[in-house]
Structure 1
Amino acid sequence: MTENEGPSPTNLVATIRAVLPSLTPAAQAIAARILDDPGMVARSTITEFSAVSGTSEATIVRTARALGFAGYSQLRFALAAAVASRAPERLVPGDLAPDDPLTDVIAKVTRAESEALADTAAQLSPDTLDAVVGAVSAARRVDVYGVGASGLVAIDMAQKLMRIGLSGHAFTDAHLAVTSAALVREGDVVVGVSCTGETSDVLGPVRVARKAGATTVAITNNPRSSLAELADHVLISAGRETAFRPGALASRISQLLIVDCVFVGVAQRTFETSDAALRATRDALDGFLADSPRRGRSS
């Protein structure tokens, strides 16, 4: 992406949401107005948008540049292309309201989940994914750090790697994560999972692991975050949190999509050993479950 081109229309809104936390307060207000009504901004001259938003034309230009465009005109053209390529409701997903009937809840949550997956796929770089797959495939060990909802993603990734015979460990406690990070070495991989990219309990161990020589990977919504700066490879997720979804449902499902892509890529690259490990673990679990009734009766 060059400065003149800016983000592509297919993932423009998702990109703006991703970088929103890293913008100045004035730029955040303008970006929020863009997200609220991208069609209106696409139709407005800079003078018109300045009047509507209550900000100066210079601030609007600086915001456009912060979003990756040469100026406001390039931002308008990209927004117009985005509006033309997507239905208006696709650009501005309806937030859940306290009085929404459950039929609307189902529709809105389903749409948000689907859009999170589509936006993540649009932003997922095959080259970056390939680099991560290569590093994980060759690693002596893979540590995954995450807390809260991202901790669930960390556990999922470690479990998947373990099923194909790799040494994967999830750490959701910062003290244990830092302890483990201090013992990694060159060739090991650490993965930090954080929607904002600013979670201190993730940044700490990733920083320690980077200093120890490990390859660092970030899974985050914000490509300009502190976590992204610490990472050798950054995989961008595109979930959006709202008032009724602070547990990051869409954020978590977009992170899980990235984890699944990494897992499948690693399983492909190490097919012989991965296939054998999958069959061995499947057989062991089948045998364990078959013996469960007998163990229950004898207890």
Structure 2
Amino acid sequence: MASDDSEEPQTAFDDRVEAALETLPPAEQRMARFFASQKQSVLLGSAAEIAALAGTSDATVVRTARSLGFESLAALRQMLLTDLTGTVSPGKRLARTLQETGNDSASALRHVVGLHESALEALKRPDMEAAFAQSIDILARANRRHIFGIGPSGAMADYASLQFNRIGLTSSALSVSGVALADRLLWLASGDAVLMMAYAPFYREVEIVLDQAALHDVPVVLISDNLGPLVADRVAATLPVPRGKADHLATHGGTMVLLEAMIIALAAKAGETAFDSLDRLSTLRGAIDKAWVKRGTRKK
């Protein structure tokens, strides 16, 4: 009989839980099953938050992780992350997404709009608002901002860098991979800040940027839906923005909304600097194309 591709695949973590279940006391059995069935919550939550969701104590959370053979909750998360990000190919992610949307265009539209509505709801949470305010303070104080992102996030890093520069906040995009990244990291210096969009798996480029930031005592603001718990001790603030369902095609609308909120918030912090920079932009455009002169500037 052909297998049902809509079912979640059995992972190495699931196998470990199954093998250990009979040896665990009842409270730890329940916790281990929670680990296996609520992987995203385990990845994103603290021990206390996981305990609250599971209806147990944070001591039970940590004890169960050790009973499953992990040195710590962080080590358990690392295996979960590997399972969630390393077992599903892009083609399978697309297939799972299409199984939910079908071939109907209207269904695809409703599906994606629903995902973005969920992401926007997450952006409204009080904890997100507090982390956002902290992140804006870090970015506004910096001498220079470096926005990191590769792949699809690279395009967003370029966009954020362009918009930050327009409001007078000197910025550069760390939007290349491989050895080309080295040239852009030459600009990183004490007094700067890094805005990082990064997701599991833990790419070498991410590790190098974090290492260089630590070397120069540069704070890092992380935007991610799954990497936060693994690098919590290496970043100054984390903004957990959902990118849709696990093992489905990632969606980036929530991240774009967050970046555009950052542009507005940073412009408010910059004050006259933002207006002066935009006036200069208008003048430069007019020098290139006289049609822009008709639009004028704030000062005229």
Q: CA deviation at 1:57?
A: 5.8
Which residue type is aligned with residue 114 of structure 1? E
Other-structure match for 2:51? 69
**In 1, are the aligned partners of 2:154 and 2:176 still within 8 Å (CA)?**
no
Which residue type is aligned with residue 276 of structure 1? D
**In 2, are the aligned partners of 1:239 and 1:254 still within 8 Å (CA)?**
yes
Over 3 Å counting, the alpha-carbon distance change for 1:239 and 1:71 in structure 2 is closer
Other-structure match for 1:206? 210
- Select between 105-114 and 236-245 the one with higher mean Cα deviation: 236-245
Q: CA deviation at 1:109?
A: 1.6
Q: CA deviation at 1:268?
A: 0.6
Other structure's SS at 2:107 match = helix
Alignment length, in residue pairs? Answer: 225
* Selected match of 2:107 from 91, 104, 108: 104
Which residue type is aligned with residue 60 of structure 1? R
* Selected match of 2:196 from 175, 192, 197: 192
**In 2, are the aligned partners of 1:161 and 1:263 still within 8 Å (CA)?**
yes
Over 3 Å counting, the alpha-carbon distance change for 1:210 and 1:105 in structure 2 is same
Which residue type is aligned with residue 194 of structure 1? A
Structure 2 residue 140 is matched with structure 1 residue 137: yes
**In 1, are the aligned partners of 2:195 and 2:220 still within 8 Å (CA)?**
yes
* Selected match of 2:181 from 172, 177, 183: 177
Other-structure match for 1:257? 257
Q: In 2, Cα distance between the equivalents of 1:243 and 1:286? A: 48
**In 2, are the aligned partners of 1:218 and 1:227 still within 8 Å (CA)?**
no
Identity %: 15
Using structure 1 for the length normalisation, give the TM-score: 0.63
Other structure's SS at 2:255 match = helix
Q: In 2, Cα distance between the equivalents of 1:219 and 1:117? A: 14
Q: CA deviation at 1:261?
A: 2.2
**In 2, are the aligned partners of 1:197 and 1:222 still within 8 Å (CA)?**
no
Using structure 2 for the length normalisation, give the TM-score: 0.63
Structure 2 residue 30 is matched with structure 1 residue 60: yes
Which residue type is aligned with residue 110 of structure 2? A
Q: In 2, Cα distance between the equivalents of 1:225 and 1:171? A: 23
Q: In 2, Cα distance between the equivalents of 1:198 and 1:229? A: 15
Over 3 Å counting, the alpha-carbon distance change for 1:224 and 1:262 in structure 2 is same
1:78-157 aligned at under 5 Å gives the runs 95-97=97-99, 99-122=102-125, 125-157=128-160
Which consecutive segments of 4 or more residues in structure 1 shift more than 6 A? 27-30
Other structure's SS at 2:239 match = strand
**In 1, are the aligned partners of 2:190 and 2:216 still within 8 Å (CA)?**
yes
* Selected match of 2:161 from 158, 162, 174: 158
**In 2, are the aligned partners of 1:144 and 1:158 still within 8 Å (CA)?**
yes
Structure 2: gaps spanning 5 or more residues: 1-10, 36-41, 58-95, 293-300
Over 3 Å counting, the alpha-carbon distance change for 1:101 and 1:123 in structure 2 is farther
Which residue type is aligned with residue 159 of structure 1? L
Q: In 2, Cα distance between the equivalents of 1:130 and 1:212? A: 23
